[in-house]
Structure 1
């Protein structure tokens, strides 16, 4: 025991602090510094042989009103852990203001030769399976200062558990102070974005016990799905939710874009473990590796932070046991840059201090090393949000819109991926109204289009083009885009690598750059109970000529 020690690192400016060992209470303790650190590194040094091979040491913070908070576990095979304060977490939520120094790091483990039954050997820690969070408590009501609030209808039916909208309140309540801990409520009613109804051109609402299914050679009506273009000739549809908020029983379809014909997943014969049906996830195609990465999403009260990979050459699925830490997220954005996935924003579930709170963090997934990490980002970043759009033009990521209850946004921020610096954009022209769950797609190397969305009251059907050269908005009026209001739909750019007529390659290994030629739009809902299953294509030249 004399050769075994535990240390904590609270700051890069300080040397590691050795925890005091109390043999009688079997504890290693150290007082937390004031101000409280944003991150901690705890590691052991010495011989674990004095313990049993199954011994683990739980690292906790104690002294708060809610009891100990476990940060992680040390084992003989994992002798170091890193913890950082989560999004929206405050030390004030963990311990009262009147006792600012009562937090301690606590480690427990059996002393060699001890016969105390309370020091029985612990099981070796394994990665826990994601469990559905508890029902969210009533959210805090923010002062909107004239900004739009949600106009959501409360579910009237009872009995069936349906997926709630991200950030939707389970009931109305007054705002609680940031230092007050909120307890979950047991209310069964939950708000929804779309209510079941029937209307022309929409999918019919089945009974509450029946999930939406295909009526033939096309997917069933849905919103919240992911649509991914594969090399311009094929697209893959994954997940979604339809009438009566039921998850689709036909969650995966393959589209041949030249003939605009759908093929059900059963005929694609994709092998391996397919992703569970969900909404609010993303699907991103990497043309270099010809793989699709599916990340995040939610299903009822179950939230995901898993990564599924589809190899389009073999049509085989696989899952990633990634290192690093990323929270379960839904309604985030994912962009591919230099072979890595850049994930921004989104909604995360309980047990975070703010129920169904929004994130303003950037996470990067490195597929080559299968690891998540957070980069150092400079500048003025966007406020926390979900349901926003992110469009990659050149090496700049344009983040627009989204919301964090009850505020809906229409601001624009740029993340320069070369400098890793955020900046707010001063735009010209009449910008789109605040919205979330809109669709966005690149039109060229200097422009992109947004369409539709939800402003907290109604689904929208307007469209706008943003010019990245002069940072200007222009309203787009097109009969196809303005025909129906849509939210939660998908819009992707189809590209071609065909050479221009008469062009000649200048080098032996020259390959033409992909050129966008068509917009592909699918699905969504109208906030009146209708869920669309239509597939539309629109030439980009026709859009730019408007």
Structure 2
């Protein structure tokens, strides 16, 4: 077999050129001209004891744009300037041979992107520090309606162990450049095929979804609509494919799933990730806003009336930019949207938001409130929960920084303030799960730190502003990010309807956790529950 080499193609009309060989050294850099619209990187020859080739794409200021790896299982990567727009002023491609180590080969190409969102690449981690933060004007956000730097922020997946971040164009042979790259696709067709796949039992391919439950996914929403029912919407699974079974109904009495895409009339939302789904108990409607899908970014509002089971696409007035990985909180009948990633802002190629947009369903209009105080830094992939007339914002990321700070928005004064916390705080993370446990506490679980998916859990007490760590095998056993966590009252069928409603008001709460990914190529379709009272132990 011929000697090992790394080759690149710059443009459709250019022949392949060798940029690194084993004989010539272990590292090489190549300048990429600004006119290049397509780049393909691949290897050829005997890998020998080498386990991977590190790839880094940097801009003209030597600031990393994207990192990835070629392995014996993933021998090709590709990027298009039209998708990412990352080398419009030129760039440098650096490749480095790695080998002679005892590290296990990862059959998953873990790709991490430094961008603003993300399988999305949510390359967020606080692993690196850059020159300094930029200020972005609201005008830049509003103008950022074109495609984003990396299709959808893949946080969607990151570096060798990637979960969420933006992605570049993925190669059909397995060189994923998006969040949660996956291992070899599962083909549950025969025992002889099954023994060839080494993926975990919990991993479910979106191509082989079972009919009795949702396929494995991350970036979806799970929205409770009554004590017995929750609605699952959207998500992305194996091989960066958007789920072909995007809408499900969960019956919490027996934890059974029912496909629900065809249950409701009207135009259903297009497949997406990084969106929000918020339930209004007064009008009994679900509001789905934003998200992204490949090159598309959304700023549409879809409403599902859970009484008539009909979808409606809102023709809203006012301006709101396309956003993904934002937060959306319901307060007094209005939707409060904060942060998120928006596509291709000007003049810089990344755009996390630090703005608040409010949607008034009655008037079908978007507007921006006057907000005072010290605002959080721009971010996406954060969590937000409404408690006692306040929105608590935690974590998130804005390349290259990952956050673990806490801010509070007083909804009466419309004033932001940082929260000084005590106790053991969670490490920086994004795409974590968050759920309100009581009037004065909420849970943070898992997430992505820019390098790995996490499995730890913490409870924050809003009365004492104190964090406490939580050790529970069910929560801490499997790292996951981009998953859904909700709480619902434990149901009771005894007595009349009025008696049941009275019991539900004081009924113990149950925590439900669904899906997500482990940043190792596995996507989960598992659902597990536990009593909220069991979470009170520190």
> TM over 0.5, yes or no?
yes
Please state how far the C-alpha of 1:248 moved relative to its aligned partner.
Answer: 0.7
TM-score, with structure 2 as normaliser: 0.65
1:419 is matched with 413
Measure the CA separation in 1 of the matches of 2:133 and 2:411.
37
Contact 2:248 2:260 in 1 (8 A): yes
Measure the CA separation in 2 of the matches of 1:302 and 1:167.
19
Aligned pairs (5 A) from 1:304-315: 304-315=298-309
Please state how far the C-alpha of 1:356 moved relative to its aligned partner.
Answer: 3.6
Question: Which residue among 520, 523, 527 is the counterpart of 2:515?
Answer: 523
2:245 is matched with 250
1:265 is matched with 260
Q: Which has the higher contact order (CA 8 A, sep 6+)?
A: 2
Please state how far the C-alpha of 1:283 moved relative to its aligned partner.
Answer: 0.4
Give structure 2 stretches of 5+ with no counterpart.
1-80, 92-108, 141-146, 151-167, 171-175, 184-197
Secondary structure in structure 2 of the residue aligned to 1:480: helix
1:165 is matched with 121
Measure the CA separation in 2 of the matches of 1:308 and 1:177.
34
Contact 1:165 1:193 in 2 (8 A): yes
2:288 is matched with 294
1:195 is matched with 181
1:326 is matched with 320
Please state how far the C-alpha of 1:134 moved relative to its aligned partner.
Answer: 4.9
1:208-250 deviation line (CA, Å, top 9, x unaligned): xxx5352230100000001101122100001100011111111
Measure the CA separation in 1 of the matches of 2:180 and 2:148.
25
Contact 2:433 2:446 in 1 (8 A): yes
Measure the CA separation in 2 of the matches of 1:468 and 1:368.
31
Secondary structure in structure 1 of the residue aligned to 2:529: strand
1:39 is matched with none
Secondary structure in structure 1 of the residue aligned to 2:358: strand
Distance 1:223 1:516, change over 3 A: farther
Distance 1:293 1:375, change over 3 A: same
Measure the CA separation in 2 of the matches of 1:469 and 1:410.
19
Please state how far the C-alpha of 1:401 moved relative to its aligned partner.
Answer: 0.3
Report how many residues are paired: 385
Contact 1:164 1:300 in 2 (8 A): no
TM-score, with structure 1 as normaliser: 0.64
1:335 is matched with 329
Distance 1:167 1:485, change over 3 A: closer
Please state how far the C-alpha of 1:417 moved relative to its aligned partner.
Answer: 0.6
1:135 is matched with 84
Contact 1:280 1:332 in 2 (8 A): yes
2:216 is matched with 221
Aligned pairs (5 A) from 1:99-118: none
Contact 2:124 2:400 in 1 (8 A): no
Please state how far the C-alpha of 1:185 moved relative to its aligned partner.
Answer: 9.0
Distance 1:177 1:194, change over 3 A: closer
- Establish whether residue 479 from structure 1 lines up as the match of residue 473 from structure 2: yes
Q: RMSD of aligned C-alpha atoms?
A: 3.6
1:434-469 deviation line (CA, Å, top 9, x unaligned): 000000000000000010000000000000000001
Measure the CA separation in 2 of the matches of 1:192 and 1:138.
18
Measure the CA separation in 1 of the matches of 2:468 and 2:211.
39
- Establish whether residue 154 from structure 1 lines up as the match of residue 111 from structure 2: yes
Contact 2:429 2:450 in 1 (8 A): yes
Measure the CA separation in 1 of the matches of 2:537 and 2:133.
52
Contact 2:490 2:504 in 1 (8 A): no
Distance 1:510 1:460, change over 3 A: closer
Contact 1:380 1:423 in 2 (8 A): yes
2:424 is matched with 430
Contact 1:163 1:301 in 2 (8 A): no
Measure the CA separation in 2 of the matches of 1:459 and 1:184.
24
Measure the CA separation in 2 of the matches of 1:529 and 1:165.
14
2:400 is matched with 406
Please state how far the C-alpha of 1:419 moved relative to its aligned partner.
Answer: 1.1
Measure the CA separation in 1 of the matches of 2:307 and 2:458.
36
Contact 2:216 2:523 in 1 (8 A): yes
Contact 1:496 1:514 in 2 (8 A): no
Contact 2:83 2:149 in 1 (8 A): no
1:125-156 deviation line (CA, Å, top 9, x unaligned): xxxxxxx9853325999xxxxxxxxxx93389
Measure the CA separation in 2 of the matches of 1:498 and 1:164.
40
